[in-house]
């Protein structure tokens, strides 16, 4: 017997409950799979996913969603353009707070990533110096008139980041007062993780050579695991938009910047 409620007159709440049930059964689903299963339009499904994500009933990801309980290891690496469309309000809140931590005369590392890119708009200190492995980040820092160094190495097209052994070697010569990092996953078991081993190497060096390291991560990154760990959970301060499970607060410092 088909468990779904079909037809154009399906109430939004009923349809959203069916989406949650589908994800609990299958763990993940694309927008198109949900369109086919519920006989709804793609625009309707996307609105439902956004609403359910905001209600913390599912996790919205690029092209679809996962159940809250899904703990799979993902080697997927969305492009900068894809990541830029996700959780933009949350990323902006995180970025603004992160930028407020920069003081005059700080020597700062800014990791590649969409949230770290957002924070450049909010930097007010003109006496600090900045090192980055993000191509777009360097351009934006220069446009802001800030002292900027971009490290050399291999360019990874999907993330527009400079990575690899040469980049890591160059970074190892610096000692930062603060580092602001991106991550693909945060887990008590796996720490902070990313899909690419060469990118992880660069991140590891940046964390080790910084006095204070901040990981900028919206709530969707918690309990997610990518293949390569670049730092243990206690190595970094997390800036996020929602209060995570208490188990994380027991292991590291967390700043929740959710709007009041």
pTM: 0.71
Average the pLDDT over 56-70 and give the result: 75
Structure tokens at 85: 């469309």
Percent of the chain with pLDDT over 70: 87
What are the tens digits of pLDDT across the range 142-188?
999 999 999 999 999 888 999 999 999 999 999 999 999 999 999 88
Phi/psi-derived region of residue 153, left when phi > 0, alpha when psi is between -120 and 50, beta in every other case: left
What is residue 128's three-state secondary structure? coil
Q: What gap in Å lies between CA 29 and CA 60, rounded to an integer?
A: 10
Helix (H) or strand (E) holding 12: helix 12-26
Q: Record the tokens describing residue 125, joined without a space.
A: 């200190």
- Chain centroid offset of residue 20 CA: 23
pLDDT single digits (tens) 192-227: 999 889 999 999 999 999 999 999 999 989 988 888
């Amino acid at each position: 017997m088909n468990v779904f409620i079909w037809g154009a007159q399906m109430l939004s709440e009923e349809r959203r409950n069916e989406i949650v049930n589908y994800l609990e059964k299958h763990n993940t689903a694309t927008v198109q799979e949900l369109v086919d299963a519920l006989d709804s339009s793609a625009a309707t499904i996307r609105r439902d996913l956004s609403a359910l994500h905001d209600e913390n009933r599912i996790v919205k990801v690029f092209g679809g969603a996962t159940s809250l309980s899904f703990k799979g290891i993902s080697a997927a690496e969305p492009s900068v353009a894809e990541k830029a469309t996700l959780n933009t309000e949350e990323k902006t809140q995180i970025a603004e707070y992160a930028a407020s931590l920069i003081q005059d005369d700080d020597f700062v590392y800014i990791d590649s990533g969409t949230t770290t890119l957002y924070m450049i708009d909010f930097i007010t200190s003109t006496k600090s110096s900045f090192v980055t492995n993000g191509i777009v980040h360097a351009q934006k820092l220069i446009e802001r008139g800030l002292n900027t160094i971009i490290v050399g190495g291999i360019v990874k097209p999907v993330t527009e980041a400079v990575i690899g052994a040469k980049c890591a070697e160059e970074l190892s010569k610096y000692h930062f007062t603060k580092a602001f990092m991106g991550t693909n996953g945060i887990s008590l078991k796996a720490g902070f993780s990313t899909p690419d081993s060469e990118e992880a190497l660069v991140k590891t060096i940046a964390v080790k050579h910084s006095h204070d390291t901040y990981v900028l991560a919206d709530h969707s990154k918690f309990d997610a695991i990518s293949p390569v760990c670049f730092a243990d959970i206690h190595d970094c301060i997390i800036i996020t938009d929602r209060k995570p499970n208490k188990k994380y607060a027991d292991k590291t410092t967390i700043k929740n910047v959710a709007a009041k």
